[in-house]
Homo-oligomer: A and B are copies of this chain.
């Protein structure tokens, strides 16, 4: 929850939706969201058409944070091999936090079970950008099949974040060797 004095009702609702959905799931009630945000239901429905729209907007709102937490700076001079590994080092590091529950975008899609839900579509789009990063680096690194390698990497990303999120694996010592094996097999520099 943000503690800035000047945050608007809209900002507080987006923050409450992102935080509570991550910790408790997409079935969190409108009452709980409004209470956490300190906003009346009437105000919420003036700002958002529905809880579904609030949820979708809250996922969109976290995009920059998601990307900044995972991706290396653009053109940082490192080889694609290292830039791809950077994402997985970040994931392993994030997974060590007690509040880690896995990738919020994967979780929302699994929970909603509805590919046409506005929040599922936002989540899908944001993850597709991560896949596109993998694909671009794979191509730049000379991968034999950049599309296939990108599919493998996002699969490892989702499997790892899911397993860490449910407490089934710490990821320690797992991701770097796994990803390196896939990069080497694809011939990525």
Check if A166 sits within 8 Å of B110, measured CB to CB. yes
Cβ contacts A95-124/B at 8 Å (1 or 0 each): 000000110001101110101000010001
Q: A155 CA to B165 CA in the complex, in Å?
A: 12
What's the least CB distance linking A168 to chain B, in Å? 7
**Can you report 21 A-B residue pairs in the complex whose CB atoms are below 8 A from each other?**
A25-B27, A25-B111, A25-B113, A106-B110, A106-B166, A110-B111, A110-B162, A124-B166, A124-B168, A148-B174, A148-B177, A154-B168, A155-B156, A155-B163, A157-B159, A158-B158, A162-B162, A178-B182, A181-B181, A181-B182, A181-B185
Q: Which residues of B contact A157 (CB under 8 A)?
A: 159
Q: Which residues of B contact A166 (CB under 8 A)?
A: 106, 109-110, 115, 120, 124
Q: Within 8 Å of chain B (Cβ to Cβ): is A151?
A: yes
Query: Which of B107, B110, B159 meets A156, CB within 8 Å?
Result: B159
Q: Within 8 Å of chain B (Cβ to Cβ): is A59?
A: no
Check if A23 sits within 8 Å of B162, measured CB to CB. no
Check if A162 sits within 8 Å of B165, measured CB to CB. no
Query: Which of B109, B124, B162, B177 meets A106, CB within 8 Å?
Result: B162
Q: Which residues of B contact A113 (CB under 8 A)?
A: 23-25, 101
Q: Within 8 Å of chain B (Cβ to Cβ): is A51?
A: no
Check if A169 sits within 8 Å of B155, measured CB to CB. yes
CB-nearest residue of chain B to A102: B110
What's the least CB distance linking A86 to chain B, in Å? 19
Q: A168 CA to B158 CA in the complex, in Å?
A: 11
Query: Which of B109, B115, B159, B174 meets A159, CB within 8 Å?
Result: B159
